[in-house]
Amino acid sequence: MTYTPGDHAFVLCAYGESPYLEECIRSLRAQRRPTRVVMSTSTPNALIRAAAEKWDIPLFVREGESGLAADWNFALECADTPLVTLAHQDDIYLPAYTERMLAAMNRARRPVLFSSGYAELRGEERVSSSRLLNIKKLLRVPMRLFPGSVAARRLSLAFGDSLCCPSVTYVRDIMRAHPFRDDFRCDLDWQQWEILSRKRGEFVFCPEALVLHRIHPASETSRVLSRNARRAEDLAMFRVFWPEGIARFLAARYARSEESNKL
């Protein structure tokens, strides 16, 4: 199958009253190869509705209590395209994102997902190199060299969550219904990569930084980390790949990386 811009949609996951929402929308609309943009939310409010109306973006509202897994599962259902990117409201997608993504997907024999390199936004500063970013680049090497190898993909995930969640584009027909687990709050993306790593096909990766991931105190990751909820999930994920003793050792070391999500 050859993917075209009509085969892709950004589903912008809006939550609360983010001051960065419109900046994210502008970046989605500034793509060199424009694709469909829709918005989903479980916290409808005046700011979200006004942004959707201003930019003429269809808005889908999920009823019920907010929750990251339920919100993401709902967001996936809001698009009717074969390829879906769950856009994070605080982040910026550089103009080449869809262009590079479609080209890479079309070069692959059987794409399972697409992801890209990224940089961090800390205040107004763009950070392209740090200890954490460099470690994640190193972890992705097996996956980059052997994208169709189950062993290589799992090796890239066995020492931590090496993919940038907002950079990922999903191939919908490869995923099961309601793929994100509601018993996870922070590592539900890593848990999903682990499931997809066992699928036949390729993890398609573009090393170019195509997303600017914003680090700020009100982000979902920062909120979860402030409650120390991530550590139990990290241990659960390491247990998928390693015996108990090694899993506990890696989880303790991995916890230090949490400091990178604090300003």
pTM of the entire structure? 0.92
* Cβ density class 51-62: b for 16+ within 10 Å, e for less: bbeebebebbeb
The C-alpha atoms of residue 116 and residue 212 are separated, in whole angstroms, by: 11
Of the candidates 146, 204, 209, 138, which has an alpha carbon nearest to the alpha carbon of residue 171?
A: 204
Of the candidates 180, 183, 168, 165, which has an alpha carbon nearest to the alpha carbon of residue 236?
A: 183
* Residue whose tokens read 């970046």: 27
Give the count of alpha carbons within 13 A of 227, CB side only: 11
Q: How many CB atoms lie within 10 A of CB 76?
A: 18
Kindly state the tokens that stand for 179. Answer: 């793929």
The C-alpha atoms of residue 52 and residue 162 are separated, in whole angstroms, by: 32
Kindly state the tokens that stand for 199. Answer: 């699928």
Query: What's the confidence (pLDDT) of residue 222?
Result: 46
Which domains, and CATH codes, for the chain?
A: 8-261 (3.90.550.10)
Query: What's the confidence (pLDDT) of residue 257?
Result: 67
Of the candidates 180, 132, 185, which has an alpha carbon nearest to the alpha carbon of residue 159?
A: 132
Query: What's the confidence (pLDDT) of residue 226?
Result: 45
Residuewise pLDDT in 10s, the chain (263 residues): 899 999 999 999 999 999 999 999 999 999 999 999 999 999 999 999 999 999 999 999 999 888 899 999 999 999 999 999 999 999 999 999 999 999 999 999 999 999 999 999 998 889 998 888 999 999 999 999 999 999 999 999 999 999 999 999 999 999 888 899 888 888 999 999 999 999 999 999 999 999 999 987 665 544 554 456 788 899 999 999 999 999 999 998 887 766 555 55
Task: Please calculate the CA angle 232-164-77 and round it to the nearest 5 degrees.
Answer: 90
Task: Please calculate the CA angle 103-168-234 and round it to the nearest 5 degrees.
Answer: 150
Query: What's the confidence (pLDDT) of residue 195?
Result: 95
Asked if residues 37 and 10 have their Cβ atoms less than 8 Å apart, the reply is yes
- Give the residues across from 118 on adjacent strands: 211
Phi, psi torsion values for 231, nearest 5 degrees: -65, -40
* Residue whose tokens read 């993919």: 163
Query: What's the confidence (pLDDT) of residue 28?
Result: 98
Q: At what angle do helices 188-197 and 150-157 cross, to 10 degrees?
A: 160
